[in-house]
Chain A
Amino acid sequence: MSDSVPAELTGGWSPLVRRVLRGGEELVANLALAAMVLLPLAEIVVRPVLSGGVPGSIAFVQHLTLWVGFLGAALAAREGKLIALATATFIPEGRTRRATAVFAAFVGSAVCTILATAAYQLVLFDKEDGTMLAAGVPVWVAQLVLPVAFSVIALRLVWRASPGWVGRTMAFAGVLIGLWLGLTEYVLDGVTLWPLIALVLAAAVLGAPIFTILGGAAVLLYMGDGDLPVIVAIETYGLNIQPHLPAIPLFTLAGFILAQGNASERLLRVFRAGVGWIPGGTAIVCVLLCAFFTVFTGGSGVTILALGGLLFPALLKDGYRDRFSLGLLTASGSLGLLFPPAMPLILYAIVAQVAPADLFVAGVAPGILLIVLTAAWGVREGMLTGAGRRRFGWPEFRAAVWEAKWELSIPFVVLGVLFSGFATLVETAAVTAFYAALIQGVIHRDFTLGKGLREAFTECVVLVGGVLIILGVAVGFTAYLVDAEVPFRLVEWAEANIGSRLMFLLGLNIFLLLVGCVMDIFSAIFVVVPLIVPVAEQFGIHPLHLGIIFIANLELGFLTPPVGLNLFLASYRFDRPLLEVYRASVPLLVILGFGVLVITYVPWLTLGLLEWLGRI
């Protein structure tokens, strides 16, 4: 961003000062994340010795998540990585593109400024009440990160609006309007809202970050009812201190540390040696490897970005057709979301208030089904094309397994620690991140510890920040729906209009497919789950089954044109036109769609293992 600005315009900022500021910002975020790893580890060690464990550690880790999330969001804004609808990329380059970018930044920074004033109000509330966090630290100090991050993001949206000062000045008007709306009490009471909401939606279509749609809708709806926008900030804060939330950055960190090292190469060798002899073996290898990584990195599409460069050439070299390979990798980028400890499972457990450990068990069989179906498509391709197969050899398999033994032990370590009685979910996540760093940085020495970890930490913070800021405002939007009694009305409507369980499930499948087209999986969980849970309860659907249906269905959404995230990422990563990616993914969309129907209508697949274990 600063490259496009002539040096004389950056004033007295010497490059050194700028570098220190930039580095300092990353350092603070990375230190917060490091503390999130170390505190739960200390807790495990100290607990048997010192009654009560490390004083206040759970409260501190929860608030560190708030810091990591919002410092990460500010960093994402600096790098232009805040998640946005990809529709803006369709706008032709040139004058129109430049004008729409300024408009998007104008609306986005206005919303972000209102959110900053709301968060500032929250800080004043807790300062006045004198609520304490632990060990003498007041809550308002921890909350300060919210108004600061929202303000910084608003300014960064303005800065990135345009390379020139005219565009930036126009975008900056958004900040002033945001200040006026945010600081004038009851200014929108009774005002007709739809033009404003339409403005926010238009800005999102033209490239404003997704969080500004949900956050904008939330603050505007509350303000239109004569309420204060601080309500949205209260909900944002309330989400970020949810007890299981810290597990998400920690597991994601483990994924990034593995990606930073050579874990993917070692695992690729194992899977090749193990299943490469089957027709379509390389395809199966890709499916397994992608699933393994997605479990840790979540449905963020990171898998395609991180592994695409390794796997696409491997498939082509082994004689798989181009379109098949493109489709397979596009779809594989979201396989694995049903296996523990994937991010969507933890989020669903938080929102629907079910035990994460139970949801982990519930996802195993449906997850295997989707992998088997995708692998079967690979086998078919292997038979048709006679793509390269290798002979199975014990010596190579043994050698490959031995080389990758540490990486292969990770799933056992995660589940072992979780069910051992030594650790909670968050502590297990911290152990996983620490273990990944130990394997990649110390045992294998894939990277120099300082540099490698710093890069993995920064990438993790930016990704988690981009996701958490969406979730943070999505809960504000959901809170409005609850206050407007929408879930209650939905139950009434469903009782009157939906005749049977079967009809409900079919309706749910279609509804979720549509949701998946327009919403990312994380916002969908936060906005839609609270609405669906009471209705599903009415039709006797088990909440764990509902969770798996929900996530499996939204997995499809990653592949559904026009806005499926995987489609865009694949188009970007493999440098192919979007239409070509659409066409390549259609067969897999059909196959996975079949799998989702099976998961929906055969509850035993989800609940059977739990019943057998005596957990339900």
Chain B
Amino acid sequence: QRGTRIQLGSVLPANSVWDKALKEMASEWQRETDGRVQLRVLPGSVKDEGSLARRLKAGRPQAAVFALPGDIDEAFNVLSIPFFFESDEETFHVVEKLTPTFEKVLADQGLVLLNWGHAGWAQFFTADRVETFDELKRTKVYTAAGDEKMLQWYKRNGFDPQPLAVTDVLLGLNTGLIDAYPTAPYVALLFQWYDKTPYMLDVPISPVLGITVVAERTWNRVSEEDQRALRASAKRVEQNLFRDVPAQDRQAIVEMESRGLTVVELDDDAKASFRVIADRLTASWRGTMIPADVYDHAVRERNAFRASR
């Protein structure tokens, strides 16, 4: 009997750490189910995640990775609030507590959550040295065209956002159309954006967390026993990824520093005043970009985690 074939689409670049982890998962699935489940990973098979969500609905591919799951449901926006989380530990704690909520919103769309992925922490890269919020607000900061809510958030909080297509970032940096952008260090290195922005503010903005999902109707064709094995494998891959990605970011920073990047470290006072303003800014997400109950739940869990420390 022919096995269940599952194709997994993503916008991830081929041979990135995340893509490699998924391919590792594919061979584990093959092995552990004796070929009853065959996962084919197709990195870069679509150009944007909006098309990927539509394709998933059309039935091919049957599984997908979303690096920006906020496009699927607003509940996921809680993960990308600027300055909401301070560390991976804190993030993982909240993610774990909110997982039932996420699973439910996905189930409403006929999707099963397999595991989480990590592409590093977004940091601000700037052309001029930036140490305070006021200085940050004076930069011409890149924001993704079409992300109207992020744009409004920047504007409401007194930033000077410049909506551009991601393909125009390099041109924009070269010509001065933008002089700051938030991104993970690995991405800044990969696309050579850091050339024009020799400063990195050492205040993590938000983790770039993604999800792997599979269509429910495909998943239901897999026996329960196999499902358990696949879930365990997906979890192992997630753990490896969460271990390897921070290392990849650190390595990228070292590499960029050797080519002239300066990491701007803040002293404790500066950090504290940054934090005060940041907390005020994050509150404006509640009810506008994230369902209020999800936001409140996340704040409760995050504060509980901080208190336990």
Contact = CB atoms under 8 A, between A and B. Distances in A.
A76 B163 CA distance: 34
Interface string B38-54: 00101001111011011
Nearest to A482: B45
Contacts of B58: 121, 125, 227-228, 230-231, 234
A53 B165 contact: no
B89 interface: no
A14 interface: no
Interface in A222-244: 222, 225, 227-228, 230-231, 234-235, 237-238, 242-244
Contacts of B46: 238
A192 B167 CA distance: 41
B292 interface: no
B47 A355 contact: no
A228 B59 contact: yes
B154 interface: yes
Contacts, number: 106
B45 A483 contact: yes
A126 to B, nearest CB: 8
A131 interface: yes
Contacts of B45: 479, 482-483
Interface string A390-423: 0000000000000000000000000000111111
By CB atoms of chain B within 10 A, which of A121, A242, A350, A421 has the most? Answer: A421
B42 A483 contact: yes
Contact of A355 (B51, B61, B151, B171): B171
Contact of A51 (B53, B55, B155, B171): B155
B96 interface: no
A125 B42 contact: no
B296 to A, nearest CB: 24
Contacts of B151: 52
B258 interface: no
Interface residues of A, number: 48
B148 interface: yes
Nearest to B46: A238
Contacts of A231: 55, 58, 60
B165 A51 contact: no
A403 B256 CA distance: 52
Interface string B251-283: 000000000000000000000000000000000
A234 B170 contact: no
Interface in B167-196: 167-168, 170-172, 174-177
Contacts of A56: 148
Given A125-B57, A238-B48, A425 B171 contact: yes
B165 A243 contact: yes
B120 interface: no
Interface in A104-127: 121-122, 125-126
B160 interface: yes
A52 B60 contact: no
A58 B145 contact: yes
Contact of A59 (B53, B57, B146, B174): B146
Interface string B205-223: 0000000000000000000
Given A231-B58, A243-B168, A353-B167, A421 B175 contact: yes
B42 A58 contact: no
Nearest to A229: B58
A366 B167 CA distance: 25
A41 B46 CA distance: 31
Contacts of A244: 165, 167
A59 B145 contact: yes
Interface of B: 7, 14, 40, 42, 45-48, 50-51, 53-55, 57-61, 145-146, 148, 151, 154-155, 159-168, 170-172, 174-177
9 interchain residue pairs of minimum CB distance: A243-B165, A421-B175, A238-B51, A421-B176, A58-B145, A234-B54, A424-B168, A227-B60, A230-B58
Given A51-B159, A234-B54, A419-B175, 20 more contacts: A51-B154, A51-B155, A52-B161, A52-B162, A58-B145, A58-B146, A58-B165, A59-B146, A134-B146, A231-B55, A231-B58, A238-B50, A243-B165, A349-B167, A356-B167, A419-B174, A421-B176, A422-B175, A423-B177, A424-B165
